[in-house]
Structure 1
């Protein structure tokens, strides 16, 4: 209340305005400067964090590459038989001086996963079986060097990473692996990265894309799960690189830069708290606030004194105006002062002269109003401020059915039907109180009680600056219009009821795509049940004709569609096979519409897909059949001339399968075939082709595999099949395989040639006592 009274003075308001202007101007300059400075600081901070992240990622890549290449070089020097490797393991490990400087631990492991030797021997891992370790399984299956995921080692349960590479004998058979362990909390190069700092509180982190922390400069704890609640870290696990603003685990704003490693699926994150990065801006803002307070303390008293002197003539003018209004003064007001104050005095004198002229003209205007409304085709009624009728034109008399003399000085609300009277009175009062126009539809009360008249009523107040004088009400008879609207609504309701029970989706959109009508079936297709109207149809769905997406422009400019089979994907990620019909309504006009009819075509398409699958697959094993295998073989032969590494064809013929069927029954034979099919699929790559060619014969196409790797894979398959046994009625059943291998040569004129060579290998294997792998070389290029 005290502040309101103080601001009642123009002088005080002017002083307050000066202070506010100073503050706002200073704040504007400060904010602009702060934003520019912050932008510059932010760019510098981002560049610094990006540079550190990039340098650390590059250095970490280089160190991992050095260790991987050194380990691979050592592995190539260990080419020897399994027995020699086992006998000389300890001596071989002790000689690896280069590896001893690069790794915290060195291990030589045989092909079954047993540790043959280690360095240092104080780790006491010799004899331990590590076949269940992820790095051993990857090396044994891929026969390539790997850098493992972080794991808990057997040495004092310390977290570590294993760099491992396979060891082969002179026949390129896998005989074991040599691995170097890097302890994540050891005194090695990882510790150097973690001890790096950005500013005073910034830090570095290294994590895998699978969500495991390799090293963390803030917590120092490896093997912790990555905080996936942080969107930047979550995106980094998907391969993101870049620099963004985010928050750390304590909710503190930070600048984070992420760089992916090229040698392993790891990423480096450099984090610098924004509080430290933008500290200079905060110090500048604090200093400015103190300077601003000092300026306000000095300026406010001076402005108050000056404004009081400027406003003295205005106070004199106010006294003269009050005297003129009360009749105590007949002369025009006259004061000295600034130009603005003298202008106010002149305007006041002019207004007083004009007021007298206005009062004279009011009577003339009222007469003009009455003559104008006499010929108006709609009812016009004038009331006083209480709502009593002062004037009604002939049109209103005709609507009500009463003459003007019966209406004058009666209540206008009395001419409204009793059921609508309260609402009419409330709207009429609201119009006067808020100086607004009130509009509504009401039933009127004519002379004939059995006659119903609906009126479209609009009431506006007659207002002067001082007070309300009454109202003017316009009444239009809309009884016939409402009857027509009711008939149209009935027709529309019948149409919507019919469309609502249809299974087909029916919707109508305008040229921008806004949905003007949609039945329930259409809303289900759009994935927006009950929320279709006025939403954009082309934003809710994607419609594809085969692999081509149909656009809004194509629908607008194209012809009507009688039946088009398309695929519809909605925003709820639901996919429908649709038989689409399109009709154009009022084409080329402003109110052009498109009508879509959507019919679910999923059953027919699923039937076609099932028949297509059955035509190319074996129903028992779910593998490709002979026809699909031959087609894949033809494609692979067509690419043989462009490949640096030859593709290989493998034919597999089962030994002793007939006794399984005869003694165990056909059901047991079928089960064995299914298990063998699963074994073949699990043994090869995803790019390889596996098929059942008929009976107990299978075929595998190995694109760009090379004969040496294919032979090793064939030996592995032969051994796994030999180990596969099925127990039935107390007996054990199994089979062996004869496997024929041959390379696909560019000179092969047809699949029959390469199939013949592989088949020849199967016959040679059978002649050599079965359960064998035979390679038939391709003919030399002629």
Structure 2
């Protein structure tokens, strides 16, 4: 069939030269330059521009003044809060010292020397025990006679005679607050409060208590209290500038000058204090507001910081509200202006009404006769509508031919335009479980398993077409009954130069191929016996964590070697050994998180990758794994088979310049545990291996 010829002479009597002249005049009349030359448009645009400029300047000026006032009020409020917090801390320290003094006055020499009497003495004073992380009593020689903590009452074989705070308390006979130190029993950062017990003969004992900084014993919830809408952060430092309380436990005992939000304020305070000694102040910079207040009795300082973004959040909200009101006002003004212009352009509205009827197929109405620009536009519309009708008849014939081709195709074919189905083949309907009526006219989005897939597909198709290539890819599609299948999609544009011309798609079911490929990928990275990750998969996981430092820290690795496994193979056979390996793998997996990676590296060697775990938490996990495996009993031919574990723990640090170095540190720790008597957990550190015994 020959293509229809679009002959414009069928619609107009003017000569071609006259029609070309009318086109040029119309286009010149509709160009932006000529359009803006009209007086009504220049007045409307000028009035709106002046109005918006005045509104913008007023909003800016009011916002600038409001911001300055908001910051000043925040400085005053935060300064008062810092002073209040410092007083609260001072009052708590005085209460603690007073409690130690009262109890010390009730203690006598005989009770201190008798463990039973001393234990009963402290048991009768639960209030004192509740005020400290632990309470202790020593003799004048510094040897601890009794220690009471949540674990119970005991007599540890330790002495604090070498501690500076103990020496000062004995020498001065006064209550002493220690520097922040590592507790010998808890191994945590602590503050020690001690009070000497003396009589006329001299000091014969010391009673004291510890406050664990990491447990918030020092100031309870003050250090991480935050005002909900301002995100206030509170940090407490001692006279030497060491952090005693911080919302992040890892920052304890660091220098307050190294705190990112406080560094500038601390530096300025030190500079100002060199010439004007003071114990409070406020500082503000581009990052935020910092206030400080000190306690003269302890030398401690309370630092409060508010990010600038949080500080001016109410103002930002107010500005946003003002902009919304301004936008609403602009819409109202634009509407009023539009109504006025519409009234002036009523002839154009009549022309639009005529064009709408023609587009709807009603060709019986006569075109209105207008002069000037409206008349030129009317002639242009008549010409365009005539051409459109002829193009649509041509397209209908092409689509009819294409529909015949699609119905005979053994591959699912579809034609889409403006993201909607216009043609679909019978095979395409069969694959999607939908009829042609259910697809044609619908958005192509309805056949995708997820909206996210559909959104991600668009840029990929666009990039392929831009390179002059067809798109090929595998995606999950959705049948009418809700089932999902994998399909290979091929897409090619109808016209490279005209994206609106549409796209031709072919699709076929590749679910079996995708399933087979995934099974191969899973087998490549997993141990066939135990089902956990193999050495190759574990190496890939370790490399990914190491490569993304420091964002991936903290992270730790457990290297696990089974104890007493070889006798199982030798006496019960390799089948029993394989059964034990499976049971151990399941037991290890049950003791860790779903996000952790459990691997069998070969033989009786296992490993676990613990993202987000520092060394302390990793040691806890290692203890759990070791205890679970130790409790595992496998019944085999009437025998109860058991194994133990030697575990090495290594936390990722900047000293590990490669993932191999990290694994080597964990392996060395495991070797130390194995050759230190088995049934142990050893943690690698940059200096030495720290051994933790556990009954094998």
The interval holding the TM-score normalised by the smaller chain is 0.3 to 0.5
TM-score (norm 1): 0.34
- Higher-Rg member (1/2): 1
